[in-house]
């Protein structure tokens, strides 16, 4: 009989540890695929994209983003109004509970102004997300060649020709 009891006891221990595992309460967001398209050295503005996963039961509100590498970071939403592309500055970005916010071309994204030093593919930049509850999440973004990304060059052109105000 001892042979039977032992595995059972082990099983209940395993179940107990699952119930109390801190993973169930841990709600820190997880950021993946953070990257910055490489831009011509003359450009004063770059974009940053990432995917933010909220595994918690409450919406997360990003109130600002900062980086030592840039003079300023803004949160933007790209929209099209009557066939005209615009970027609207956002005061906050919401990552809904149990959901994902994708910062990408043509949608929400980060706009990086006036790099303190030139960046090229292979460089890494720390972007710190500030949340409404006061917590901060540093994110490492890889600078990569934007190769083949048509919308990226359009994004830059939009900024460069000055025909659309961005902020």
User: Applying CB under 5 A, which residues contact Cu ion?
Assistant: 76, 87, 111
Closer residue to Cu ion in complex, CB, 73/139: 73
CB of 98 to Cu ion, least distance (A): 28
Residue 47: CB atoms within 10 Å: 23
- In whole angstroms, give the CA distance from residue 32 to residue 53: 8
CB of 109 to Cu ion, least distance (A): 6
Closer residue to Cu ion in complex, CB, 9/150: 150
Closer residue to Cu ion in complex, CB, 55/153: 153
Closer residue to Cu ion in complex, CB, 60/73: 73
CB of 164 to Cu ion, least distance (A): 10
Q: Please state whether beta strands 60-66 and 108-115 pair in parallel, antiparallel, or not at all (unpaired).
A: unpaired
CB of 44 to Cu ion, least distance (A): 13
Q: Contact at 8 Å (CB) between 103 and 110?
A: yes
Phi-psi region of 126 (alpha: psi -120 to 50; beta: other; left: phi over 0): beta
Instruction: Please give the residue whose beta carbon sits closest to Cu ion in the complex.
Output: 76
Among 96, 31, 91, 28, smallest CA distance to 64 is for 91
């Amino acid at each position: 009989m001892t042979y039977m009891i032992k595995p059972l006891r082990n099983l209940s221990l395993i179940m107990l540890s699952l119930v109390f595992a801190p993973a169930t309460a841990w709600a820190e967001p997880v950021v993946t695929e953070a990257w910055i398209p490489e831009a011509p050295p003359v450009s004063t503005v770059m974009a940053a994209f990432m995917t933010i996963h909220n595994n918690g039961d409450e919406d997360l509100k990003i109130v600002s983003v900062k980086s030592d590498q840039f003079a300023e970071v803004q949160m933007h939403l790209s929209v099209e109004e009557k066939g005209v592309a615009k970027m609207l500055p956002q005061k906050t970005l919401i990552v809904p509970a149990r959901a994902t916010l994708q910062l990408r071309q043509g949608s929400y994204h980060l706009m990086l102004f006036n790099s303190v030093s030139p960046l090229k593919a292979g460089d890494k930049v720390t972007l710190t997300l500030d949340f409404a509850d006061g917590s901060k999440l540093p994110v490492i973004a890889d600078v990569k060649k934007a190769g083949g990304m048509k919308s990226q060059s359009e994004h830059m052109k939009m900024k460069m020709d000055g025909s659309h105000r961005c902020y």
